[in-house]
Amino acid sequence: MIKVNLFFEHFPAFNQSYIADMVESLAEEKSVDLEINGLKESDYKSTIKVQLAPSYFQKRLYERFYGLFSNTYKGLSYWEIKWLKNKKQIVHLHHSFLFKYFNGISSLKKINRPKLIVTLRGSDTYLRPWYDKRWLDFYKNSTDRIDAFVVMSQHQKNYLQKWGVSEDIIEVIPASIKVSNNSPKQLDNDRIKIVSSFRMTWEKNIEGNLRAIRNLIEKGYNISYDIYGRGHDIGEAYFIIDKYGLHDVVNIKGKVENDEYVKQLKAYDFYLQLSKSESLSISTIEAQSFGLPAIISDAGGMPETILNEESGYAIPFYKSDLAAVKIERLINDKALYQQFSKAAIANVNSKFTNQAEAESYINLYKRLTENA
């Protein structure tokens, strides 16, 4: 069995219950001896046992004790000492900023330490290296320290190489969800219900999404539009809603637990997300699992989440009018809409299931340990 440690800030984060589902699938694999560590406790309930960090005093006492009696552990952090003592073969960090916890262990010869894997989710690839020298230095100096980076899409893999990371150590493993047992939808409501779910930040193109809705309203369609999520740019959403006179059309649902949000998806007809930057988009995958055609931007890894012109449409993020045209086409062709709905569910079940993601991780773990 491969002894693997998965390390999280908190397991899982508020809106990432899909990660817990994947880890539960991974834990069922007989070829992996799995241990989960976290810095903070999560409110999300999972069957997975998570070992949390002890108090600062306990950690310091632990570090001093082992550093005093063994040169092997001198200068290493609490977690690094535990990984060595427990003979972990893989340490997989699921939040990229956690790299600061293994500065010591990554300096050891590879033969004397676990294989180190870092998962990158998005902003750590597309945004932070542009303005934060720590990230730029990390990537430039990572080839000999990190055994693999996991990214969400082929586009993210290509972009990461911009910062000096070798293609050979970048693995594309998309985030995933449970297998969908939903039936294709039929469009038979008088009012068309459209949904989006994202952090309220400039990358998500808040105004672009709302302009697409305004365009449909101006064409005379009976539309309701719900946006799930919060963020520091939420004021822009309220401002644009007021500017375009969409108070009776748009509802900002705010921060909702991921499991609760997913339960609501079956009530909608379309998913809309015209992001300017995106490594993938788990929300687009979730929406398709309920048979919702996805109208998305062609930015970043977004197009990799759909079958373009089969389960949705990928268009330039700045073409809100085109997004409206694509939705209009499916509204007026109910047979085509049902075809898209069927293709959306099939797309998710063929590429984005927890089992597929878990198998990809196991293959990566095996490859790294076999080459040790």
pLDDT digits (tens, 9 = 90+) for 130-142: 999 988 888 988 7
Closest to 196 in 3D by CA, of 299, 103, 292, 276: 292
Q: Are 118 and 338 in contact (CB under 8 A)?
A: no
Query: Bigger pLDDT: 70 or 312?
Result: 312
For 91, the 3-state DSSP assignment is strand
Residue 353 binned pLDDT confidence (cut-offs 50, 70, 90): very high
Q: What's the pLDDT at 241?
A: 96
Residue 222 to residue 249: CA distance in whole angstroms: 9
* Residue 1, pLDDT score: 87
Q: How far is CA 91 from CA 8, 149, 271, 278, in A?
A: 11, 12, 36, 26
Query: What's the rounded mean pLDDT across residues 228-240?
Result: 94
Residue 100 pLDDT more than 80?
no
Residue 330 has pLDDT above 70, yes or no: yes
pLDDT in tens, 261-305: 999 999 999 999 999 999 999 999 999 999 999 999 999 999 999
Which helix (H) or strand (E) segment holds residue 294: the answer is: strand 294-297
Q: Which helix (H) or strand (E) holds 340?
A: helix 334-351
Residues 6+ apart with CB under 8 A from 100: none
Checking if the pLDDT of 345 tops 90, the result is yes
Domains 2-176+353-370 and 192-351 are alike in CATH topology: yes
- DSSP symbols for 251-264: EEEES--HHHHHHH
Phi and psi dihedrals of 343, rounded to 5? -65, -35
> Would you say residue 334 has pLDDT above 70?
yes
CA-based nearest residue to 117, from 109, 105, 127? 105
Q: Which residue from 310, 225, 320 is spatially nearest to 275, judged by alpha carbons?
A: 320
Tell which residue, 89, 109, 95, 120, has the closest CA to residue 2.
Answer: 89
Domain ranges of the chain: 2-176+353-370, 192-351
Q: In this predicted model, what pLDDT tens digit does every residue of 191-232 receive, in sequence order?
A: 999 999 999 999 999 999 999 999 999 999 999 999 999 999
pLDDT at 372: 61
Determine contact, residues 17/258, Cβ cutoff 8 Å. yes
Q: Which CATH architecture has domain 192-351?
A: 3-Layer(aba) Sandwich (3.40)
Looking at residue 95, its pLDDT comes to: 81
Is the CB of residue 313 less than 8 Å from the CB of residue 321? no
**91-108: average pLDDT:** 84
Residue 105 has pLDDT above 90, yes or no: no
- Choose among 73, 81, 6: nearest CA to 37: 6
Rounded to an integer, the average pLDDT of 58-71 is 89
Given the structure tokens 């193109």, which residue do they identify? 205
Of 284 and 47, the one with more pLDDT:
284
Reported as type and span, the H/E element at residue 35 is strand 32-40
Q: What percent of the chain has pLDDT over 90?
A: 72
Backbone phi, then psi, for 215, in 5-degree steps?
Answer: -60, -40
CA atoms within 13 A on the CB side of 31: 10
Going by C-alpha positions, the residue among 34, 32, 94, 85 that lies closest to residue 62 is 85
CA 46 to CA 62: how far, in whole Å? 29
> In sequence order, what DSSP letters do the residues of 214-226 get, joined into one string?
HHHHHTT--EEEE
What is the largest distance, in Å, between two alpha-carbon atoms of the chain?
A: 77
Please tell me the distance from the alpha carbon of residue 345 to that of residue 185, in angstroms, as a whole number.
10
Q: Considering only CA atoms, which of 191, 222, 187, 194 is closest in space to residue 209?
A: 194
Q: Averaging pLDDT over each range in 9-13, 69-73, 116-120, 259-263, which range is the top one?
A: 116-120
Q: In the prediction, which pLDDT does 15 show?
A: 66
Q: Which CATH architecture has domain 2-176+353-370?
A: 3-Layer(aba) Sandwich (3.40)
> Which pLDDT belongs to residue 296?
98
pLDDT tens digit string along 312-323? 999 999 999 999
Contacts with 252 (C-beta within 8 Å, 6 or more apart), sequence order: 226, 227, 234, 237, 238, 241
